[in-house]
């Protein structure tokens, strides 16, 4: 399973010959655009017009998670997977989709995918109700990955090791203010019984700027690793 960081909470996951894009917020993200200028060779992952994807996973309806979803979905005829309400909203714009709701899982050509609880809010740019926000657990023979989405620390995270295969890694928000901060993400990593954490939802805006060294040390002190990927960087599970 190959994971490429696109900035903020956006990732491309390549597994079993399929490409999934998670929470695409690339063209409005100044850090992603800066990275693209510095590394024109990363166009394939940082220019939404060039991004190839078979599936789009949206954790919730906020703009900083779905800004490029419609364009990427249309140019690839990609399948959107999200909450029932988010999938229905995008269906009206012509995107094909598969709806999920909390606690449900589905078998897809890229593996099993379960929609799990997140404590946050969710609404679409026009004010439409987006259902409750969520996260995903994705697993197949290449590994098991938890994508938390925007969330507070929650006891529900303890259900993940009880209901899913052993996690290989987890993508957790660490930027504080709108989600848990890194100190609580360390506790979350205990709840989900995972020691390989990939940080997201930090540094994009002033509200969520973090001290990278302090965040890494907080995990190190517990014998865990926090990976802070640069935009465009790949990580192999």
Q: Interface with Ni ion by CB under 5 A: which residues?
A: 62, 150
CB of 62 to Mn ion, least distance (A): 5
Of 14 and 85, which has the nearer Cβ to Ni ion? 85
Sign of CA dihedral 182, 162, 131, 30: positive
Contacts with Mn ion, 59-98, as mask; x by CB under 5 A: -----x----------------------------------
CB-count exposure of residue 77 (10 Å: 0-12, 13-18, 19+)? exposed
Of 110 and 136, which has the nearer Cβ to Ni ion? 136
Of 150 and 184, which has the nearer Cβ to Ni ion? 150
Q: Interface with Mn ion by CB under 5 A: which range of 57-65, 87-95, 110-118, 222-230?
A: 57-65
Cα dist from 225 to 70, 88, 181, 228, whole Å:
34, 38, 16, 10
Contact between 150 and Mn ion by CB under 5 A: the answer reads yes
Separation of alpha carbons 51 and 33, rounded Å: 14
Of 177 and 225, which has the nearer Cβ to Mn ion? 177
Give the tokens for residue 159. Answer: 């259900």
CB-count exposure of residue 30 (10 Å: 0-12, 13-18, 19+)? exposed
CB of 84 to Ni ion, least distance (A): 18
Across the strands, what pairs with 198?
171, 227
Task: Give kind and range of the element (H or E) at residue 234.
Answer: strand 234-236
Q: Interface with Mn ion by CB under 5 A: which range of 82-90, 148-156, 192-200, 212-220?
A: 148-156
Residues that bind Mn ion (CB under 5 A): 64, 150
């Amino acid at each position: 399973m190959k994971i490429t960081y696109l900035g903020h909470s956006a990732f491309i996951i390549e597994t079993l010959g399929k490409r999934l894009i998670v929470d695409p917020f690339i063209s409005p993200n100044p850090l992603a655009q800066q990275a693209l200028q510095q590394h024109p060779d990363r166009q394939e992952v940082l220019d939404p017009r060039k991004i190839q994807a078979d599936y789009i996973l949206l954790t919730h309806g906020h703009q900083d998670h779905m800004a490029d979803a419609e364009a990427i979905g249309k140019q690839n005829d990609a399948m959107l997977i999200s909450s029932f309400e988010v999938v229905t909203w995008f269906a009206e714009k012509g995107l094909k989709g598969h709806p999920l709701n909390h606690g449900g899982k589905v078998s897809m050509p890229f593996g099993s995918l379960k929609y799990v609880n997140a404590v946050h809010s969710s609404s679409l740019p026009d004010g439409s109700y987006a259902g409750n926000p969520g996260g995903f657990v994705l697993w197949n023979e290449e590994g098991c990955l938890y994508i938390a989405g925007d969330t507070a620390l929650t006891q529900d995270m303890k259900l993940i090791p009880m209901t899913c295969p052993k996690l290989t890694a987890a993508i957790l928000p660490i930027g504080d203010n709108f989600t848990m901060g890194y100190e609580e993400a360390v506790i979350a990593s205990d709840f989900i019984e995972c020691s390989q954490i990939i940080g997201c939802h930090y540094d994009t805006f002033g509200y969520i700027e973090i001290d990278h060294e302090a965040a890494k040390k907080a995990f190190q002190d517990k014998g865990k690793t926090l990976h802070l990927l640069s935009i465009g960087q790949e990580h192999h599970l």
